[in-house]
Structure 1
Amino acid sequence: MSRYTITLLKGERTDDEAVIGFDPPLRTFFLQGFEADDDFGTPEIWLGTLLEEFPTLEGIIEAARRQGYEVRGLERADMIALLAEAGHDYEPSIAEKLGFIL
């Protein structure tokens, strides 16, 4: 699983510790930002938690934009590495084969 630190903007707010990456077992890109102050530390935005939810980098960035967020600071080399990782064929996980992940 890859994980890159980015800057996430929403209105006047900025999160310099947001992350974007690729999760091979779920075969999806993910994005997390603006950690909540609750006991669980659940991010305000957390995309890419379902199987094949965001198969493209462009798709997850567009989904964030539709919610009012802007992604900044993702370096070209990091984008290439993310796309290369997403380009592999990944076998279904045991949980997926057993029907625990749909």
Structure 2
Amino acid sequence: MSRYAITVTGSDGRFDPDAAIGYDPPLRTLFLQAFPDGTGDDIALWLGTSDRQFETINALHTAAQSRGFDFMPLPHDIAAQLPEDLAQEASGPPHDGPLAELLRRLQSK
């Protein structure tokens, strides 16, 4: 799994300088997490929780914007690294272990 710190802004003027973007190999998706509450138990923005939900940065960005959040432009090094993370995982063997199977089963319900 890759995970990088970025800044996410909200349409309400808030910003989260400690948001996380990355690639989750078992789910085969890019993800974005931002704006945790004070306890850290709830996150206002959490995208990329389903199998193959976001296979491109553009798809993830569109989903974030539709919810009133933005993370563009990405820092150059992260914008270059995320597609590499995705490509590296895509060329490897599929994640077909018990955890991946359980996640797919839970998502199908």
Please state which band the TM-score falls in when normalised by the shorter chain: 0.7 to 0.9
| Structure 2 portions without partners, runs of 5+ | 105-109
**Is 1:64 paired with 2:67?**
no
Normalized per residue, which structure has more strand? 1
Q: Are 2:25 and 2:95, in contact at CA under 8 Å, matched by a contact in 1?
A: no
Amino acid across the alignment from 1:24 = P
Whole-angstrom CA distance in 1 between matches of 2:63 and 2:19:
15
Give TM-score scaled by structure 2 length. Answer: 0.81
Q: Are 1:6 and 1:73, in contact at CA under 8 Å, matched by a contact in 2?
A: no
Normalized per residue, which structure has more helix? 2
Higher relative contact order (CA closer than 8 Å, sequence separation 6+): 1
Give TM-score scaled by structure 1 length. Answer: 0.86
Whole-angstrom CA distance in 2 between matches of 1:18 and 1:25:
21
**Is 1:101 paired with 2:103?**
yes
CA shift, 1:71, in A, is 0.6
| Percent identical | 32
* Regions of 4+ moved over 3 Å: none
| Structure 1 portions without partners, runs of 5+ | none
